[in-house]
Amino acid sequence: MAPLPRVDGNADLHGLEPEERKVWFDLDEGVAHMAVPGTTRVRKTRLCEVLVAQDTRLQEILNAAKDRAA
């Protein structure tokens, strides 16, 4: 799989938040649908890629912990 592109740009042109902050939500909320509104080219697909990668990694960690406990 090819490396993901850099995510950067001019906040005035691309609508990036100049004061970024971390966003958290409970794992229980990840099993339902999630609305991600936005116009074209605002990185909705990239958000999906990040969420899927995080879920995949979390599942790998949980499986490894379960295997060690058995």
Kindly list the domain boundaries of the chain, sorted by start residue. 43-70
CA distance 23 to 69: 31
Model confidence pLDDT, tens digit, residues 24-68? 888 788 788 888 888 888 888 888 888 888 888 988 988 999 999
Separation between Cα atoms, residue 21 and residue 18, nearest integer Å: 10
Task: Please say if the pLDDT value at position 12 is more than 70.
Answer: no
pTM score > 0.75 for this model?
A: no
Tallying the residues shown for the chain, one arrives at: 70
pLDDT for the residue 51:
86
pLDDT attached to residue 7: 66
Position 8 scores a pLDDT of 66
| Whole-number Å distance between alpha carbons of 19 and 47 | 18
